[in-house]
A and B are shown apart, each in its own frame.
Chain A
Amino acid sequence: MRTAQTTIVPTVDDPQAIRPFEVQFLQNDLDDLRQRVTATRFPEKETVDDNSQGIPLKTVKAIAKYWANDYDFGKLQRKLNAYPQFVTEIGGLDIHFIHVRAKERNALPIIITHGWPGSVLHQMKIICALANPTSYGGKAEDAFDVIIPSIPGFGFSGKPNATGWNPTRIASAWIELMKRLGYDRFVAQGGDWGALITEQIGVLAPPELIGLHTNMPAAVPAYIDRAAAFGEALPSEIPSEERQAYEDLAFVYKRVYYAHYMASRPQTLAALADSPVGMAAFMADFDARGLELIQRAFDGVEEGISRDDLLDNFSLFWLTNTAVSAGRIYWENKLPYFSPKGIEVPVAVSVFPDELYRCPKSWAEVAYPNLIHYNKLEKGGHFPAWEQPEIFVDELRNALRKLRTTKRSHENYSITI
């Protein structure tokens, strides 16, 4: 049994073996975290009455107060260890993942990838419903085998000590992981970085991949993307849905300078490794609607994500000291976030209303010539599996149903859960 937090020492025998893993936080680290949260020194209040200068002091203070006084530090470890976790070395790096097999014989294997500022915690609410659909309003034939890896530099995966772990390399590692688990047919799903990684699996198109699902499609036509990034006007009249998406994007580009920062100077954010509340403030500000959702949660209106959800995730980043290592994925990446990548495999798209931009069907059809599903949801944002797990599970069931024609592959590897 591996018990470690950040540093995972490779085993002497076979690093490529799949080793069971359990989280065990040190009491010292938990005490130190609580002590630091309590001793936080805050900046002064912003000079505006809205979110236009970043996360308001009131919200930062509310996060610190809840973290110090009401958050149960003992629960996180139990939550994480509620699902079977493993570590295996791929491409010289330990990859941590949750792996839950369905009891159903024809379950479809799915690898689900989180993003930034995320972790496996973002997907934990959907595991049971996907793996055990008959207990969660679904049918036996909706079942999935669920694999949720931690991206290199995030959570309990290893931290790369050399360059090269970009989305394409991570995609290759994910393919290797699925093969190592004995799957000869699988689907892939992701949002945020998970969407880029999932799309790269689609670009690599291994024979085992039968399709993918994204909740952050990269489908923006090049000229629209450029116009939005540089604040240029649109060249011609376009349908209102596309104009709306352009406006969403233009707004996003004016706001995601944290991404530019991590893409150019990730190590200079050392403060995030030394200040838990500062780290939380930085991460809570990932997008405008996400920040508002967090603010409502701390104002007592918990919609989708609770205060505990948020602090579980922040505590995980803190206790694994991965704020900077996770930031480096921005530095590694050379792909445009929202431009089509030339994917020919079947693709399913779900559009959540509070996503960074709302992808029109017209763009999705061009970006993904093999579009098997497109649906606009009524509720949910950038992290829908975390915010709206029930809606998200329904989407995955519906979106991927027509890919279930292939029987589950022969299992050459089994693990006791």
Chain B
Amino acid sequence: MKTITEKIGCKMAFRHRLIQLLLLLAAPICMAQNTALAASAVSGEIRPFKVSFSKADLDDLRHRIKSTKLPEKETVNDFSQGVPLKTIKELTEYWANDYDLDKLEAKLNAYPQFITNIDGLDIHFIHVRSKEPKAMPLILAHGWPGSTIELMKIIDPLTNPKAYGGKAEDAFDVVIPSMPGYGFSGKPTSTGWGPERIASAYTELMKRLGYKKFLAQGGDWGALIVDMMGVQAPPELVAIHTNMAGAVPPEIDKAAFTGAPMPSGLSADERYAYERLAFFYKSGLAYALEMANRPQSLAALSDSPVGLATFLLDHDALSLEMIARSFAGQKEGLSPDDVLDNVSMYWLTNTAVSSSRLYWENKLAFFAPKNVKIPVAVSVFPDEIYAAPKSWAEKAYPNLIYYNKVGKGGHFAAWEQPKLFVEELRAAFGKLRKPVKG
């Protein structure tokens, strides 16, 4: 215990760690039955959590996959009508015959998980402390259709860099919460849980864990949340890293959205970004609009696992194509198991509709600058919905401490290219090391 005390150097964190250990050893483990979790009795209490799926739920899922009723084939030979029937069939067959559903629970329980009630809602999170004394605390925020699963590949390299091609001083303490309505966090029963409130809750979580200085990282909704943390700028937050920069100038965003001609005077990078945005708004945004307006009318996603998978696969054009190649047998960023781990978790927690409601809650423009004044690091992956040009990032984030275009990866960068992603985080936050902990 002595080494732990020395390492943490913070009374609150030590108390928390001690409680964690004691609870892990002695206390009954919280069960995740359909995420119906009892509110914690003690305000601010952090309870250990382990996933436990019921056999009945797993059997029901298997049965539903096998009795899936499919639509007919699309009338095109490309992805322009959505997920091709061939991909749906390959996924269904793999899920039914090759995927090991019984392993999911163990995969999720591979890292220490906790639940704490914040602002009236149970927030589930993974928390892994590094053994390195100079580890920097980092909260990683997932998006839709993601979960803590999309960030699990980077936990070990971030917390234990020496074993993964890094140096001791690259170490992070990692906190990965599930968003409200997602995974094992509670489902809001009233309105108000938009990105701003989630951002406040994440700051509170880091403070509750005893961190006096921390970093935040996100993509997709996670990017909006960390941007909002940056706007709220609590004194504990040192900097943020985003892999989906909110940096599109308003006039360009509007032109792309309304299908107006491309504004003149753009650089090559800016023109490409505009074209990608216009393409997304024209043919890829409808799911977001439907969820933003009529999330409850997507009840079918709660009743059809393969229908849910199909819906979640079709996040954006390049991700869908990558996943389709993966199910067709090519080795790609996401394996069929990666995809089905995530979909199975959405199914088993019945969070298809509750996760959609975040779109309904949100009032922020996805890609517009949010006026973040604290230090920001931006990594641009080539297959992201749009690749933010440096010129836009500099304007959107006046305190831009890092900008890099990465060679490979898409919207789910940490999940698809964990090695590159970890290198990005090490490089992006490297120069902030000194003042954080010590």
Which of the 9-residue segments A137-145, A200-208, A210-218, A264-272 touches chain B?
A264-272
A171 to chain B minimum Cβ distance, whole angstroms, is 19
In the complex, whether B354 has a CB less than 8 A from a CB of chain A is yes
In the complex, chain B residues whose CB is within 8 Å of the CB of A323: 71
Q: What are the interface flags for A274-311 relative to B under an 8 Å C-beta threshold, 1 for contact and 0 otherwise?
A: 11011101101100000000000000000000000000
In the complex, chain B residues whose CB is within 8 Å of the CB of A275: 299-300, 303-304, 307
Interface range for B: 35 or more
Q: Which of B84, B350, B357 has the most CB of A within 10 A?
A: B357
Are A278 and B301 CB-contacts (below 8 A) given A266-B82, A267-B71?
Answer: yes
Q: How many Å lie between the Cα of A134 and that of B62 in the bound state?
A: 58
Do the beta carbons of B350 and A41 come within 8 Å of each other?
Answer: yes
Which of A126-173 touch B at CB < 8 Å?
A: 159-163
Do the beta carbons of B289 and A277 come within 8 Å of each other?
Answer: no
Are A328 and B81 CB-contacts (below 8 A) given A161-B73, A268-B314, A323-B71?
Answer: yes
In the complex, chain B residues whose CB is within 8 Å of the CB of A284: 297
In the complex, whether B163 has a CB less than 8 A from a CB of chain A is no
In the complex, chain B residues whose CB is within 8 Å of the CB of A265: 81-83, 286-287, 314
Do the beta carbons of B289 and A260 come within 8 Å of each other?
Answer: yes
Majority secondary structure, B binding face: helix
Q: How many Å lie between the Cα of A277 and that of B304 in the bound state?
A: 10
Interface range for A: 35 or more
Give the contacting residue for A47; candidates B286, B289, B357; CB below 8 A. B357
Residue of B nearest to A42 (CB): B302
Q: How many Å lie between the Cα of A164 and that of B306 in the bound state?
A: 28
A284 to chain B minimum Cβ distance, whole angstroms, is 8
Do the beta carbons of B83 and A268 come within 8 Å of each other?
Answer: yes
Residue of B nearest to A284 (CB): B297
Are A281 and B71 CB-contacts (below 8 A) given A43-B352, A267-B83?
Answer: no
Which of the 9-residue segments B188-196, B209-217, B394-402 touches chain A?
B188-196
Residue of B nearest to A63 (CB): B299
Are A270 and B83 CB-contacts (below 8 A) given A53-B295, A257-B290?
Answer: yes
In the complex, chain B residues whose CB is within 8 Å of the CB of A43: 296, 298-299, 301-302, 350, 352-354
Are A274 and B286 CB-contacts (below 8 A) given A53-B295, A267-B71, A269-B82?
Answer: no
In the complex, whether A123 has a CB less than 8 A from a CB of chain B is no
Do the beta carbons of B290 and A261 come within 8 Å of each other?
Answer: yes
In the complex, whether A273 has a CB less than 8 A from a CB of chain B is yes
Do the beta carbons of A42 and B191 come within 8 Å of each other?
Answer: no
Residue of A nearest to B297 (CB): A54
In the complex, whether B311 has a CB less than 8 A from a CB of chain A is yes
Which of B336-373 touch A at CB < 8 Å?
A: 350, 352-354, 357, 360
In the complex, chain A residues whose CB is within 8 Å of the CB of B84: 267
Q: How many Å lie between the Cα of A321 and that of B85 in the bound state?
A: 14
In the complex, whether A178 has a CB less than 8 A from a CB of chain B is no
Give the contacting residue for A274; candidates B72, B81, B300; CB below 8 A. B300
Chain A residues at the B interface, C-beta cutoff of 8 Å: 40-48, 53-57, 60, 159-163, 230, 254-255, 257-258, 260-261, 263-275, 277-279, 281-282, 284-285, 321, 323-325, 328, 331
Given A55-B296, A271-B306; 4 other pairs, CB 8 A cutoff: A267-B74, A268-B310, A270-B88, A272-B300
8 interchain pairs (CB within 8 A)?
A43-B296, A47-B190, A53-B360, A161-B72, A272-B300, A278-B303, A324-B72, A325-B72
